[in-house]
């Protein structure tokens, strides 16, 4: 547990610097973390380097580029090379991606705690784990109302995800790395999931390194007039305190009294300092406009969950630098008394995106629905993104909406959410276009380890079994003694296949891929 | 004063002389639709590339390929030559024809006399949204609070008034088995329900037989009893029983009791969980399987269901057992009305082989034949209602938004005027 905390601390720092955030020289009173340990938490004892190569797939980087027929080489869980034919060190494990597409692992926001709690994991939490703060309740209510609108008679398995937003829990303490739901998440292509504002890497059979980032999001309440007032007051007080503190700092006078932090909300302070992102749950136009004004006034970039009427105020939200977490299919009818446009629109995501709002997509049910209703739970996250495309969003932006944008929201975009050299090797291999309903994840790789193979798991192996290709590496076949009986024919075939591959590489290679070898 | 009157008269004459009825609608001139692919959805599953579809007086006049089919010169032309055109989709399990709270009246255990047509609300938003998903015909049925919840009605999803919406009334008699009607009261478990269904159906059939005897000149005229009238339609095969039935054991009871013992037309209107285990018997007895809102079946301890841990697709399992009449439903609002095509997509995702476009058949041909409205809707064949939609590709893909919907030659949805789904 201790080393884990160290790791988290290190990560926080790494993230801070990556954003160009300057830690004040003098430790300010809001710095609660003890950073003296930082130096110690350097490299762990070196074991043997672990290499994994994902060979011959079409790599959809998640940044717009598609690299055809390339190999991703991972060293100790980090992407070291994305090249046509990189040098593969001895003992490199290989995953055959020929004919497949390789995408960044998906990032699921507000995921059910079932992912981490296992098949028999209870959703009931101890009393003291439930945060009755106004914002928590507001958020929980938001999810509850969403859930209700979609479930009505179905019932039973649905309750679990109400808790997610309210629960303030140490997710790792209850993480079950053998959970069947974790396997189903990987089967969907999800390799990172947020639970109660903690970003969890869905490692299988491991706890170490599961917690990627904790409490990057601060829930801000803005629903009722009372909560708006109190939120404005919190921001005003925190901003005032920061001004006083900076002035005091500039004064550099030992006699001068340090400004009091009394009554300053810590979460709000973190938002203003850019350490946390403010997360709002808001759907109606007036709330959204209020949030946009608040954000511009105090200089922060809001994350808005829901954002159903966002398309009516897209310009304002774009100028406020907002990120919208939308469920493209959610439906709310316009209040007919109003003259202005309102209600939901299938074009919401596309319109917001066109106005510079970053789009993340989350399904209406962020749990796993195994009682039979399909297409609207976490197991169909790409389908939900497909509905954003229906409304006019591009396929690329829809992919980003379930990869890099949610990674940014969780503050882990320097590690996951796209396929780039130096990032974590969390990728998925699919048998087709990820956003097509027929596509299945064939393999999932997390931290450079193969953690899911459709053919080896009980759930979906029987659905359109993967066709067998001739082996990737003829040398390996020779070593297997059964195959040695009829070597001549097989080898010939393989040679042909290999030649074919090389030809394709020459033709289709997009020249400008990053070819710097990993930066350790 | 005179001048004004003349002007008015001329203006009126002008209006009458050139009626503003849009092409394709009754009374208007003909409409020729030019498309990349016409998915005819006839018995053979014909697909015509680069086709013309001629519409006149609210009906399909002809369908044929460019160059072969002649387009009369006075026809208005709708050029969607890079789009697919297919018949409007049909949902045989919807509770969204009107007010949701008025379709479950569990005062008595069986209610063959109740009719949901009283609850129809033309133009209600939930149904209008369905139009944007390409759904043009629904079977609006009572809920499943009792074994026999009442009579459903087949409706067009968008029409000016109730009369114009009505395709057939009664659209079906809704039968519900197992779980939901068990909640009616203490002691209502499956054996009681089955006894009760058998008892009710037997009395209804007997009533209808007395009428038939009278009509054929045998016996006295029976008293009219609204509670049992629907059975005259059932016995004469003018309507069917739509059965809320799922789980193998329950579907088995449906097939044996309703189809075999009573000889009534019935179709499975859920068919989920491990219901596909009865697929062979259903095939033998010529009973369609309209599947939904569930699409998959996984281990379910409470019901003793386990497919060796696999997650199986329900439609795929019916197909694997050779069932020839597989359709899809939404049970709207459980799945929103507009997402009927997505139900087919989910069937495919979980193993349904769509090589011969069985999904489209399951959204048009199969439900139309099953509900006995095949002579009127379900395909782009001459003489049928001109209910069709225009889409950039396979409608099951959520990314392909329906762009235009016509019902009886009338344009009822145009995404350019506001995409609602």
Which of B293, B348, B420 is facing A373, going by the closest CB pair? B293
Long-range CB contact pairs, A394-400, < 8 A, 24+: A395/A433, A395/A435, A395/B399, A396/A64, A397/A349, A397/A353, A397/A359, A398/A349, A398/A361, A398/A435, A399/A60, A399/A62, A399/A103, A399/A434, A399/A435, A400/A62, A400/A359
Q: Copy the structure tokens of residue B178.
A: 């197992």
| Inter-chain CB proximity A390 and B401 less than 8 Å | yes
Tell whether B116 is within 8 A of chain A (Cβ). Answer: no
**Looking at A187-191, A304-308, B182-186, B275-279, which range is the least confident one?**
B182-186
Which secondary structure element, helix H or strand E, spans residue A490, and what is its range? helix A487-508
Reported confidence tier of residue A32, pLDDT bands at 50, 70, 90? low
CA distances from A183 to A187, A437, A443, B83, B291 (A): 6, 19, 11, 40, 27
| Inter-chain CB proximity A390 and B400 less than 8 Å | yes
Beta bridge partners of B151: B115, B173
| pLDDT exceeds 90 at position A517 | no
Which of B296, B316, B345 is facing A437, going by the closest CB pair? B345
| Inter-chain CB proximity A370 and B310 less than 8 Å | no
Kindly report the nearest CA distance between residue A117 and chain B, in angstroms.
Answer: 18
- Name residue, tokens 């989910």: B346
Q: At what angle do helices A134-151 and A225-251 cross, to 10 degrees?
A: 140
Nearest CA in chain B to A389: B399
Nearest CA in chain B to A343: B420
Give Dmax over CA atoms of chain B in angstroms: 89
| Inter-chain CB proximity B351 and A154 less than 8 Å | no
Looking at A157-237, which runs of residues are DSSP E strands? 190-195, 198-201, 211-214, 217-220
Per-residue confidence (pLDDT) for residue A28, from 0 to 100: 63
| pLDDT exceeds 70 at position A418 | yes
Positive or negative: CA dihedral B361, B364, B370, B374: negative
| pLDDT exceeds 50 at position A514 | no
Average confidence (pLDDT) over A81-87: 96
Per-residue confidence (pLDDT) for residue A27, from 0 to 100: 55
Per-residue confidence (pLDDT) for residue B38, from 0 to 100: 98
According to DSSP, residue A321 is labeled T
Per-residue confidence (pLDDT) for residue A215, from 0 to 100: 83
Tell whether B391 is within 8 A of chain A (Cβ). Answer: no
Instruction: Give tens-digit pLDDT for A379-389.
Output: 999 999 999 99
| Inter-chain CB proximity A372 and B313 less than 8 Å | no
Which secondary structure element, helix H or strand E, spans residue A8, and what is its range? helix A2-18
Per-residue confidence (pLDDT) for residue A168, from 0 to 100: 40
Reported confidence tier of residue A92, pLDDT bands at 50, 70, 90? very high
Tell whether B346 is within 8 A of chain A (Cβ). Answer: yes
In contact, A79 and A379? CB cutoff 8 Å: no
Kindly report the nearest CA distance between residue B48 and chain A, in angstroms.
Answer: 25
All residues at 6 or more sequence positions from A519 whose CB lies less than 8 Å from its CB, including other chains: A421, A422
Which of A345, A389, A461 is facing B399, going by the closest CB pair? A389
| pLDDT exceeds 70 at position A26 | no
| Inter-chain CB proximity B349 and A331 less than 8 Å | no
State the best of A372, A390, A434 to mutate against chain B, taking most chain B CBs within 10 Å. A372
Contacts of A436 in chain B (CB under 8 A): 397
Average confidence (pLDDT) over B193-218: 96
| Inter-chain CB proximity B399 and A375 less than 8 Å | no
| pLDDT exceeds 70 at position A128 | no
Tell whether B334 is within 8 A of chain A (Cβ). Answer: yes
For every residue of chain B, which 3-state class applies, written as one string? CHHHHHHHHHHHHHHHHCCCCCCCCCCCCCEEEEEEEEECCCCCCCEEEEEEEEEECCEEEEEEECCCCCCCCCCEEEEEEEEEEEECEEEEEECCCECHHHCCCCCCCECCCCEHHHHECCCCHHHHHHHHCCEEEEEECCCCCCCEEEEEEEEECCCCCHHHHEEEEEEEEEEECCHHHHCCCCCCCHHHHHHHHHHHHHHHHHHHHHHHHHHCCCCCCCCCCCCCCHHHHHHCCCCCEEEECCCHHHHHHHHHHHHHHCCCCEEECCCCCCHHHHHHHHHHCCCCEEECCECEECCEHHHCECCCCCCEEHHHHHHHCCCCCEEECCCECCCCHHHHHHHHHHHHHCCCCCCCCHHHHHHCHHHHHHCCCCCCCCCCCCCCECCEEEECCCCCCCCCCCCEEEECCEEEEEHHHCCCC
Reported confidence tier of residue A177, pLDDT bands at 50, 70, 90? confident
Per-residue confidence (pLDDT) for residue A30, from 0 to 100: 61
Instruction: Give tens-digit pLDDT for B83-121.
Output: 999 999 999 999 999 988 999 999 999 999 999 999 999
Instruction: Give tens-digit pLDDT for A287-303.
Output: 999 999 999 999 999 99
Beta bridge partners of A59: A67, A102
| Inter-chain CB proximity B401 and A373 less than 8 Å | no
Question: Distance between CA atoms of B117 and B154, rounded to whole angstroms?
Answer: 9
Q: At what angle do helices A225-251 and A285-298 cross, to 10 degrees?
A: 10
Please count the residue pairs, one from chain A and one from chain B, whose beta carbons lie less than 8 angstroms apart: 98
Kindly report the nearest CA distance between residue B84 and chain A, in angstroms.
Answer: 16
Task: Report residue B392 CA to chain centroid gap.
Answer: 23
How many helices, marked H, and strands, marked E, lie in chain A? Answer: 14, 17
Q: Copy the structure tokens of residue A212.
A: 């990627």
Question: Distance between CA atoms of A48 and A14, rounded to whole angstroms?
Answer: 25
- Name residue, tokens 């519409």: B55
Instruction: Give tens-digit pLDDT for A457-513.
Output: 999 999 999 998 888 876 544 444 444 444 444 444 444 444 444 444 344 444 444
| Inter-chain CB proximity A462 and B396 less than 8 Å | no
Which secondary structure element, helix H or strand E, spans residue A360, and what is its range? strand A358-361
What percentage of chain B has pLDDT greater than the value 70?
95
State the best of B130, B398, B418, B419 to mutate against chain A, taking most chain A CBs within 10 Å. B398
What percentage of chain A has pLDDT greater than the value 90?
61
Contacts of A383 in chain B (CB under 8 A): 342, 345, 398
Reported confidence tier of residue A150, pLDDT bands at 50, 70, 90? very low
Kindly report the nearest CA distance between residue A342 and chain B, in angstroms.
Answer: 12
Nearest CA in chain B to A156: B302
| Inter-chain CB proximity B345 and A347 less than 8 Å | no
Reported confidence tier of residue B9, pLDDT bands at 50, 70, 90? very low
- Name residue, tokens 């015509």: B48
Question: Distance between CA atoms of A197 and A214, rounded to whole angstroms?
Answer: 6
In contact, B289 and B361? CB cutoff 8 Å: no
For chain B, the C-alpha Rg in angstroms (whole number) is 23
Average pLDDT, chain A: 80
| Inter-chain CB proximity A437 and B398 less than 8 Å | yes
In contact, A136 and A164? CB cutoff 8 Å: no
**Looking at A163-172, A205-214, B38-47, B349-358, which range is the least confident one?**
A163-172
Beta-carbon count within 10 A of B217 CB: 6
Contacts of A391 in chain B (CB under 8 A): 401, 419
**Looking at A30-34, A216-220, B288-292, which range is the least confident one?**
A30-34
Instruction: Give tens-digit pLDDT for B279-294.
Output: 999 999 999 999 999 9
Kindly report the nearest CA distance between residue A390 and chain B, in angstroms.
Answer: 4
pTM for this one? 0.84
Per-residue confidence (pLDDT) for residue B226, from 0 to 100: 95
In contact, A191 and A446? CB cutoff 8 Å: yes
Tell whether B322 is within 8 A of chain A (Cβ). Answer: no
Nearest CA in chain A to B125: A333
Nearest CA in chain B to A345: B420
Contacts of B179 in chain A (CB under 8 A): none
Nearest CA in chain A to B345: A437
Beta bridge partners of B140: B94, B153
Q: Of B404, B375, B306, give the one whose Cα is nearest residue B88.
A: B404
Instruction: Give tens-digit pLDDT for A421-465.
Output: 999 999 999 999 999 999 999 999 999 999 999 999 999 999 999
| pLDDT exceeds 60 at position A306 | yes
Kindly report the nearest CA distance between residue B57 and chain A, in angstroms.
Answer: 32
Question: Distance between CA atoms of B77 and A15, rounded to whole angstroms?
Answer: 60
Reported confidence tier of residue A251, pLDDT bands at 50, 70, 90? very high
| Inter-chain CB proximity A437 and B334 less than 8 Å | no
Question: Distance between CA atoms of B67 and B65, rounded to whole angstroms?
Answer: 6
**Looking at A111-125, B27-41, B279-293, B376-390, which range is the least confident one?**
A111-125
Which of B299, B334, B399 is facing A153, going by the closest CB pair? B334
Instruction: Give tens-digit pLDDT for B225-240.
Output: 999 999 999 999 999 9
Contacts of B334 in chain A (CB under 8 A): 152-154, 373
In contact, B379 and B365? CB cutoff 8 Å: yes
**Greater confidence, A144 or A46?**
A46
Instruction: Give tens-digit pLDDT for B265-283.
Output: 999 999 999 999 999 999 9
Contacts of B401 in chain A (CB under 8 A): 346, 390-391
Reported confidence tier of residue A112, pLDDT bands at 50, 70, 90? confident
Beta-carbon count within 10 A of B13 CB: 10
Q: Of A407, A417, A424, give the one whose Cα is nearest residue A80.
A: A424
Beta bridge partners of A192: A107, A201
Contacts of B357 in chain A (CB under 8 A): none
Per-residue confidence (pLDDT) for residue B244, from 0 to 100: 97
Per-residue confidence (pLDDT) for residue A111, from 0 to 100: 86
**Greater confidence, A44 or B23?**
B23
Average confidence (pLDDT) over B5-33: 69
For every residue of B238-273, which 3-state class applies, written as one string? CCCEEEECCCHHHHHHHHHHHHHHCCCCEEECCCCC
Per-residue confidence (pLDDT) for residue A62, from 0 to 100: 95
Question: Distance between CA atoms of B254 and B332, rounded to whole angstroms?
Answer: 23
Contacts of B133 in chain A (CB under 8 A): none
């Amino acid at each position: 547990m201790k080393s884990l905390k160290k790791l988290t601390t290190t990560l926080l720092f790494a993230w801070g610097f990556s954003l160009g955030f300057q830690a004040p020289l003098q430790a300010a009173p809001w710095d609660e973390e003890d950073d003296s340990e930082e130096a110690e938490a350097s490299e762990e004892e070196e074991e043997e380097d672990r290499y994994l190569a994902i060979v011959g797939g079409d790599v959809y980087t998640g940044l717009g580029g598609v690299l055809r027929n390339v190999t991703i080489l991972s060293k100790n869980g980090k992407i070291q090379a994305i090249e046509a034919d990189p040098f593969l060190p001895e003992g490199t494990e290989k995953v055959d991606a020929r004919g497949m597409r390789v995408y960044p692992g998906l990032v699921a926001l507000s995921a059910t705690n079932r992912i981490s709690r296992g098949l028999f994991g209870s959703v009931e939490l101890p009393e003291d784990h439930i945060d009755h703060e106004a914002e928590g309740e507001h958020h929980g209510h938001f999810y509850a109302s969403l859930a209700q609108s979609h479930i009505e008679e179905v019932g039973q398995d649905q309750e679990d995800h109400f808790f997610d937003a309210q629960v303030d829990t140490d997710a790792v303490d209850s993480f079950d790395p053998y959970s069947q739901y974790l396997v189903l998440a990987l089967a969907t292509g999800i390799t990172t999931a947020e639970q109660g504002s903690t970003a969890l890497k869905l490692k299988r059979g491991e706890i170490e390194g599961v917690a990627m980032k904790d409490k990057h999001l601060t829930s801000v309440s803005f629903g009722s007039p009372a909560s708006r007032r109190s939120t404005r007051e919190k921001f005003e007080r925190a901003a005032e305190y920061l001004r006083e503190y900076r002035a005091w700092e500039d004064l550099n006078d030992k006699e001068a009294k340090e400004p009091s932090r009394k009554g300053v909300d810590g979460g709000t302070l973190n938002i203003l300092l850019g350490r946390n992102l403010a997360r709002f749950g808001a759907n109606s136009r007036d709330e959204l406009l209020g949030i946009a004004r608040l954000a511009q006034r105090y200089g922060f970039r809001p994350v808005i969950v829901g954002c159903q009427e966002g398309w009516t105020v897209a310009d304002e939200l774009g100028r406020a630098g907002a990120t919208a977490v939308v469920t493209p299919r959610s439906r709310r009818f316009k209040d007919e008394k109003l003259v202005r446009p309102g209600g939901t629109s299938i074009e919401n995501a596309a319109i917001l995106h066109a106005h510079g709002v970053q789009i993340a997509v989350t399904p209406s049910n962020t749990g796993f629905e195994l009682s039979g209703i399909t297409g609207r739970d976490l197991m169909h996250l790409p389908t939900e993104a497909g509905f954003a495309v229906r409304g006019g969003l591009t396929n690329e932006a829809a992919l980003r909406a379930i990869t890099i944008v949610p990674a940014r929201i969780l503050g882990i975009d320097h590690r996951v959410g796209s396929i780039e050299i130096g990032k974590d090797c969390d990728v998925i291999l699919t048998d087709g276009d990820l956003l097509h309903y027929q596509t299945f994840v064939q393999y999932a790789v997390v931290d450079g380890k193969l953690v899911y193979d459709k053919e080896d798991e009980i759930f979906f192996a029987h659905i359109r079994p993967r066709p067998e290709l001739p082996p990737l590496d003829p040398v390996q076949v020779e070593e297997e003694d059964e195959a040695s009986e009829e070597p001549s024919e097989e080898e010939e075939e393989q040679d042909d296949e290999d030649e074919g591959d090389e030809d394709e590489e020459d033709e289709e290679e997009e020249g400008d891929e990053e070819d710097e070898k990993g930066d350790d | 004063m005179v001048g004004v009157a003349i002007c008015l008269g001329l203006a009126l004459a002008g209006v009458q002389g050139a009626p503003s009825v849009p092409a394709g609608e009754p009374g208007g001139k003909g409409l020729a639709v030019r498309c990349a692919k016409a998915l005819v959805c006839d018995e053979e599953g014909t697909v015509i590339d680069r086709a013309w579809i001629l519409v006149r007086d609210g009906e399909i006049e002809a369908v044929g390929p460019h160059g072969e089919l002649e387009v009369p010169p006075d026809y208005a032309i709708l050029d969607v030559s890079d789009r697919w055109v297919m018949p409007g989709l049909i949902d045989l399990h919807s509770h969204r024809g009107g007010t949701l709270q008025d379709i479950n009246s569990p005062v008595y255990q069986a209610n063959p006399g109740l009719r949901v047509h009283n609850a129809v609300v033309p133009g209600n938003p939930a149904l209008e949204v369905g139009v944007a998903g390409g759904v043009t015909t629904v079977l609006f049925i009572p809920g499943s609070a009792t074994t026999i919840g009442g009579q459903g009605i087949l409706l067009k999803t968008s029409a000016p008034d109730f009369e114009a919406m009505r395709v057939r009334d009664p659209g079906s008699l809704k039968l519900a088995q197992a779980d939901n009607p068990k909640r009616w009261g203490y002691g209502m478990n499956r054996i009681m329900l089955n006894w009760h269904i058998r008892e009710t159906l037997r009395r209804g059939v007997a009533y209808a037989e007395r009428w038939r005897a009278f009509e054929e000149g045998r016996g006295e005229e029976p008293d009219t009893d609204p509670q049992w009238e629907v059975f005259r339609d059932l016995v004469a095969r003018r309507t069917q029983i739509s059965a809320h039935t799922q789980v193998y054991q329950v579907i088995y009871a449906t097939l044996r009791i309703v189809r075999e013992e009573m000889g009534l037309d019935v179709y499975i209107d859920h068919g989920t969980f491990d219901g596909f285990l009865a697929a062979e018997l259903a095939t033998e007895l010529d009973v369609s399987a309209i599947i939904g809102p569930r699409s998959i079946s996984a281990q379910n301890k409470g019901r003793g269901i386990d497919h060796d841990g696999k997650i199986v697709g329900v439609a795929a399992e019916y197909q694997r057992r050779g069932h020839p009449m597989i359709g899809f439903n939404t049970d709207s609002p459980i799945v929103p009305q507009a997402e009927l095509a997505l139900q087919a997509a989910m069937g495919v995702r979980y193993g349904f082989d769509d090589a011969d476009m069985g999904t489209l058949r399951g959204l048009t041909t199969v439900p139309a034949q099953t509900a006995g409205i095949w002579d009127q809707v379900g395909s782009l064949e001459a003489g049928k209602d001109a209910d069709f939609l225009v889409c950039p590709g396979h409608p099951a893909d959520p990314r392909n938004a329906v762009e235009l919907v016509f019902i009886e030659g009338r344009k009822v949805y145009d995404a350019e005027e506001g995409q609602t789904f």
